[in-house]
Amino acid sequence: MTAPKTRFLGFVRGRMPFARLELWQTRYLIVYAVWAWTVVLAFPFVFDFA
């Protein structure tokens, strides 16, 4: 699997179609959602609701 920077540069240089980059990005939406919920649910306890 290639690094995100490599995928983006491949698109910018015209070596990769936009659809492929877009598909890679949308596959990470679940990762972003999990991170967001972790921040929303865990950070208040970590910082003592301050």
How many domains would you assign to the chain?
1
2 pLDDT above the threshold of 70: no
Query: Could you tell me which residue, 9 or 26, shows the higher pLDDT?
Result: 26
Give 37 or 8, the one with higher predicted confidence: 37
Nearest to 4 by CA among 24, 20, 19: 24
Query: Is the model's pLDDT at 1 over the cut of 70?
Result: no
- Name the residue range of residue 29's domain: 4-46
Taking the C-alpha atoms of residue 29 and residue 35, their distance in angstroms, rounded to an integer, is 10
Q: What is the pLDDT of residues 10-48, one digit of tens each?
A: 777 777 787 877 787 888 889 989 999 999 999 888 888
Q: 14-36 b/e with 16+ CB inside 10 Å = b?
A: eebeeeebeebeeeeeeeeeeee
Average pLDDT over residues 1-16: 70
pTM of the model: 0.51
